[in-house]
A and B are shown apart, each in its own frame.
Chain A
Amino acid sequence: MSVEVEVDESDLAEMVEQVWESYLDPEGVSPLIPTYDENQPSEVHSSVSITGSWTGHVVYASSRAAAKRAAAAFLAMELEEVSEEDMSDTLGELANIVGGNVKAMLPPGAQLSLPQVVLASESSARYPNAQRISGVYGMWEGEPVSISMWQVSTDNKEEGA
């Protein structure tokens, strides 16, 4: 049996809110407005994997425009200055921060992977044997952004762990 996940939707929403407050919207003027739309489109994504007491992924996904804006806010740059590398580093760190906080809420013995970033649509690269267990979906200044958690099925976990 897999450990029951102790991270629910409201925990995830709170972490996301803190990331916005800290880096993406320190002035509190452009929050992520929830859409509850699990199927909203995305063009870029980043993720970290967690293994051990719980096995799965924490995934950031958004439009390119939102990713660019996130990098500009994170790195205190003008939008026009943002390079592909800036975008990819920022998305990686966003996944890492949310993933790290998720990990802290799991039973001891969970490990966090290095972040992976794909500056392309994520739909083709869905996580095998993984099932979405919670997510925060919203619009940020009119652009889709989501943070979701995917649990890897237990069968798969047995051979892995």
Chain B
Amino acid sequence: MTPMRAMVIDDSRAMRMILKRIVTKLNFEAVEAGDGKEAMDLLADMTEVPELALIDWNMPNMNGLEFVTKVRADPRLREMTLVMVTTESEQSQIVRALAAGAHEYVIKPFTEGAMIEKLALLGLVPTGANS
């Protein structure tokens, strides 16, 4: 069985390491990108689309919101589950991200448990795997 794959898109290497550690624990294979543009380029070369993307909002070149919009416009990437992971925490920003097509939203700072619960909510973790 091929493992599920998760893209971790954040301009902070430290944050990518945290996210990578969590998804790896959940048996995802992690792919990193430093901004939306790099993530789009990586996706263009992939034959199999990752199941999950964890996406920061504020990044150079292409921000998280633009990335979500682009992914949603591409039928090939339709199956990807998109989760914003950001310090942007105004209610209006959450509404914007969901309207653009993000499935879930995690506000930084988050605990590992909270992130796992969110992914469980999306059906990406067997429930009760961690609590």
Contacts and interface: CB of A to CB of B under 8 A. Distances in A.
Q: Is any CB of A less than 8 Å from a CB of B in the complex?
A: yes
A145 B90 CA distance: 28
Interface string A87-127: 00110110011011101100010001010000000000000
Contacts of B18: 23, 74-76
Nearest to B89: A104
Interface stretch (B41-49, B104-112, B121-129): B104-112
B14 A104 contact: no
Contacts of A21: 109, 111
Contacts of A26: 111-112
Given A18-B109, A19-B109, A23-B18, A93 B12 contact: yes
Contacts, number: 59
A23 B111 CA distance: 7
Contacts of B109: 18-19, 21-23, 97
A144 B109 CA distance: 22
B87 A75 contact: no
Interface residues of A, number: 26
Contacts of A143: none
B17 interface: yes
Contacts of A43: none
Contact of A90 (B14, B89, B92, B110): B14
Contact of A99 (B14, B17, B87, B92): B87
Contacts of A89: 12-14
Contacts of B21: 76
A79 B57 CA distance: 30
A18 B12 CA distance: 19
Interface in B77-104: 86-90, 92-93
A85 B13 CA distance: 10
Contacts of B60: 114
B87 A101 contact: yes
A90 B10 CA distance: 13
B13 A100 contact: no
Contacts of B93: 104
A30 to B, nearest CB: 16
Given A18-B109, A75-B14, A89-B13, 16 more contacts: A22-B108, A22-B111, A26-B112, A71-B14, A74-B14, A75-B18, A76-B17, A76-B21, A86-B14, A97-B108, A97-B109, A100-B58, A100-B86, A100-B87, A100-B88, A101-B108
13 contacts: A22-B108, A22-B111, A23-B18, A71-B14, A75-B14, A89-B14, A90-B14, A92-B12, A97-B109, A99-B87, A100-B108, A101-B89, A103-B87
